[in-house]
Amino acid sequence: MALYSEKVMDHFRNPRNVGTIENADGVGEVGNSVCGDIMKIYLKIEDDTIADVKFETFGCGSAIASSSMASEMIKGKKVSEALTLTNKAVAEALDGLPAHKMHCSVLAEEAIKAALKDYYDKNGISYEESLFAEKE
């Protein structure tokens, strides 16, 4: 069996939503200290909805595929819905990731959460700290 699914390869080769957003409403940058990969997510939020999302990922193929898939999954969603996106859902949407690559999908979840936290902070929106608690 191939190590990576067709979907992973597709999103790695043709990543959706690569780039930056000028004057983004929320920006989140996270990294994995073990592998050194970095992911940055930019959000444009209108009427409490993710109107646009872009990302820059300096990392492995699984991290690029995860950020691409995650960006597609939150586009057009309400902020509250985007907050519930888990790395597991991203990996499932990619038809799975090898066990030792699951942490790459965690970066996508964390980067989106960091961007949403930035949006909340910039707009003085209150939230439960536990909402943004770090994953193991």
Interface contacts to ligand FES, rule CB under 6 A: 32, 35, 37, 59-60, 62-63, 101, 104, 107
* 64, 65, 83, 104: the active-site residue: 104
What is the DSSP secondary-structure string of the chain? --SS-HHHHHHHHS-SSBS--TT-SEEEEEE-TTT--EEEEEEEEETTEEEEEEEEEES-HHHHHHHHHHHHHHTT-BHHHHTT--HHHHHHHTT---GGGHHHHHHHHHHHHHHHHHHHHHTT----GGGGPPP-
Q: Specify the residue, 91 or 115, whose C-beta has the smaller distance to ligand FES.
A: 91
Annotation says 104 is catalytic: yes
Q: Specify the residue, 49 or 93, whose C-beta has the smaller distance to ligand FES.
A: 93
Q: Smallest distance, Å, CB 70 to ligand FES?
A: 13
Q: Specify the residue, 27 or 60, whose C-beta has the smaller distance to ligand FES.
A: 60
Residues carrying an active site annotation = 35, 104
